[in-house]
Structure 1
Amino acid sequence: MIDKAMIDKGRLRQHYLEWRQHLSDREWQDRSRRICQQLFDHPQFQQATTVLTYVPHRREPDLRSLWSVPKQWGLPRVVGRNLQWHCFDGKEDTLQQGPYGLWQPSPDAPPIDPAGVDLCLIPAVACDRRGYRLGYGAGFFDRLFAHPDWQHVCRWGIVFEAAVVEELPHDPWDLRLQAICTESGLWEIR
């Protein structure tokens, strides 16, 4: 039996990925810059000492300008079906290309202790106003935050405003975000 939610997710994912790919370099950079400003201005981001983020891939919002903000930054490594988080010093020349073409830290980089993480900035293909996120479909973040060691970590979805919808199809294992940040603002999910 075919799951209608999976078909809908697939179609939505394709639509928003295509939309993102058609952004001009200038528009992508401008939208990304405005998202960075929204994050930088938010008190919770300012107070966070350890922040997990990502290297932009497939025209995801680019948060790299924030890496100069003095914080302990963490980046993920894909290991099998899971994400392992490592300290990152902001130097892109230390990154290695991993699965799916993602840039990630070396396995030798110091690991991040989940107990000390204040905030995780999660890229999304799309988000809905209830806090559900549409990713690439591999479930890495859902598996991560389902683990007891990671459940306390605050999760913010990072997405362009045009990819925020009223309601996305979701499955029982899909975890909600605590906030969504776009170039137009950051709002908490109630």
Structure 2
Amino acid sequence: MEKTQLRRSLLKKRQLMSVTEYKQKSDRICTHLLTSTLFTQAKTILAYFSFRQEPDLSFLFGNNKIWGFPRCVGDYLYWHIWTPKDSLQIGAYGISEPHPHAPTIDSTEVDLILVPCVACDYQGYRLGYGGGYYDRLLAVPEWANKTTIGIVFDFAYLPQLPIESWDKPLGAVCTETGLKYIHFDAVKS
């Protein structure tokens, strides 16, 4: 199945989840992250605000961590510090994001990136919305070796996805059934 059809099919399946199922699965994902070594050892974490029924990570926000969230500007993501007491604005694509005047985060400060995905495969490749924002981010040398976890519901964790030459595999994938380490030999929780 080509990327466009697969994306459409998985987004539809995600939208059809009941509110109860969505909340339960999101909560399980958060529990797996909270108990993982990758999360507990991280001081600065980049994440996302749930959009189009992506897994909701808001239960994690706070937890004595510094949180960064993206702003889409042109073709790139810019990362800003956000705390639960800060307000948000609606940015590109209707996604909530920090205000432009919020402090920015430098790549050297980042320990972990929680990556939103439409789907991930067993090799760590992700299917996004097609804008290429995370592909471009992870291709830049200062971001390329950051610890990454793709966040998806289990029905979107697939044996294989169609990939392009520019696709970069993620280090791990977290679903409601657990955290799957893909490109980490030394780190297990």
**Superposition TM-score, scaled by structure 2 size:** 0.95
Provide Cα deviations, 1:25-69, integer angstroms capped at 9, x if missing partner. Answer: 111000000000000000120010000000000000000010031
In the alignment, the residues of structure 2 paired with residue 180 and residue 47 of structure 1 have an alpha-carbon distance, to the nearest angstrom, of 17
Please tell me the residue identity of whatever aligns with 1:186. L
SS of residue in 1 equivalent to 2:2: helix
1:165 to 138, 152, 158: 158
Q: Percent identity?
A: 48
In the alignment, the residues of structure 1 paired with residue 113 and residue 94 of structure 2 have an alpha-carbon distance, to the nearest angstrom, of 21
Give unmatched runs, 5+ long, in structure 2: 184-189
In the alignment, the residues of structure 1 paired with residue 166 and residue 112 of structure 2 have an alpha-carbon distance, to the nearest angstrom, of 21
Provide Cα deviations, 1:98-139, integer angstroms capped at 9, x if missing partner. Answer: 010000001100000100100000011011001100000000
**Superposition TM-score, scaled by structure 1 size:** 0.94
Aligned to 1:40: 34
Aligned to 2:137: 144
Aligned length: 183
Aligned to 1:153: 146
1:29 to 8, 23, 29: 23
Please tell me the residue identity of whatever aligns with 1:136. Y
Give unmatched runs, 5+ long, in structure 1: 1-6
SS of residue in 2 equivalent to 1:175: coil
Aligned to 1:79: 73
RMSD: 1.0
In the alignment, the residues of structure 1 paired with residue 143 and residue 84 of structure 2 have an alpha-carbon distance, to the nearest angstrom, of 23
Matched, 1:63 2:57: yes
SS of residue in 2 equivalent to 1:167: coil
Q: Which runs of 4+ in 1 moved over 4 A?
A: none
Please tell me the residue identity of whatever aligns with 1:22. L
In the alignment, the residues of structure 1 paired with residue 123 and residue 84 of structure 2 have an alpha-carbon distance, to the nearest angstrom, of 32
2:174 to 152, 168, 181: 181
In the alignment, the residues of structure 2 paired with residue 67 and residue 172 of structure 1 have an alpha-carbon distance, to the nearest angstrom, of 34
In the alignment, the residues of structure 2 paired with residue 68 and residue 48 of structure 1 have an alpha-carbon distance, to the nearest angstrom, of 13
Q: CA deviation at 1:153?
A: 1.2
In the alignment, the residues of structure 1 paired with residue 137 and residue 78 of structure 2 have an alpha-carbon distance, to the nearest angstrom, of 9
